[in-house]
Structure 1
Amino acid sequence: KVIIVGLDNAGKTTILYQFLMNEVVHTSPTIGSNVEEIVVKNTHFLMWDIGGQESLRSSWNTYYSNTEFIILVVDSIDRERLSITREELYRMLAHEVWWGVGIIVF
């Protein structure tokens, strides 16, 4: 299981569907989550794209169990919210469930 997290409009859904279909698709804000199975070299990944709106971030922890990898998507153009991204990362990493889990910052 892979979870894709980040603030709203960071590009999480775009990245998910780039992995799935190898093309850029038009997306709308994710309310809740999108889940897709992706196969890479005969390895199956269940990828969860989790909505990043402020009202949804407090529920991210409900997706943490059985996660093997985290992809944190950062919109580097949105410099005004980089500190919020950092705070959310620290809040997420405070959970012991992440010990031993791979983290990719994208």
Structure 2
Amino acid sequence: MLYIWDVGGQKTIRSYWRNYFEQTDGLVWVVDSSDLRRLDDCRYELHNLLKEERLSRASLLIFANKQDIQGALSPDEIANAMDNSRRAYTGEGLLEGFD
């Protein structure tokens, strides 16, 4: 059985994220590749989430969204900005971003 939650990233709802961590096997983190101003905030929030005990065994997939916008950071630049030193690239496009 697969449960998917799209919990959004607005600051006002971030405190509710923890309600969705129980039995989480995977986390898909979507980064707006064209919003350079919010990358530091994005990295901070991701790193705080990854400290959660209930997410300790979860796989992480970072989607570099909005690649079609001029000036967007590349997926490698996003990975570097997220300080994701333990990365593995598999499945180019990963079924085109789950369609």
Task: Give 2:45's aligned amino acid.
Answer: E
Figure out how many residues of one structure are paired with residues of the other and give that number.
63
CA distance in 2, matches of 1:100, 1:67: 8
Higher strand proportion, which one?
1
> Is 1:74 aligned with 2:36?
no
What is aligned with 1:14?
Answer: none
Pairing 1:74-93 to 2, within 5 Å after superposition: 74-93=31-50
User: Which of structures 1 and 2 has the larger relative contact order (alpha carbons within 8 angstroms, sep 6+)?
Assistant: 1
Matched position secondary structure for 2:24: coil
Unaligned ranges ≥5, structure 2: 64-99
Q: So what's the TM-score if we normalise by structure 1? A: 0.56
Question: Among the aligned pairs, what percent are the same residue?
Answer: 37
What is aligned with 2:12?
Answer: 55
Matched position secondary structure for 1:50: coil
Unaligned ranges ≥5, structure 1: 1-43
Cα-to-partner distance string for 1:54-102 (whole Å, 9 max, x where unaligned):
1001111111111111000000100000000001001111111122211
**Structure 1 segments of 4+ aligned residues over 2 angstroms from their partners:** none
Question: Structure 1 residue 103: deviation in Å?
Answer: 0.6
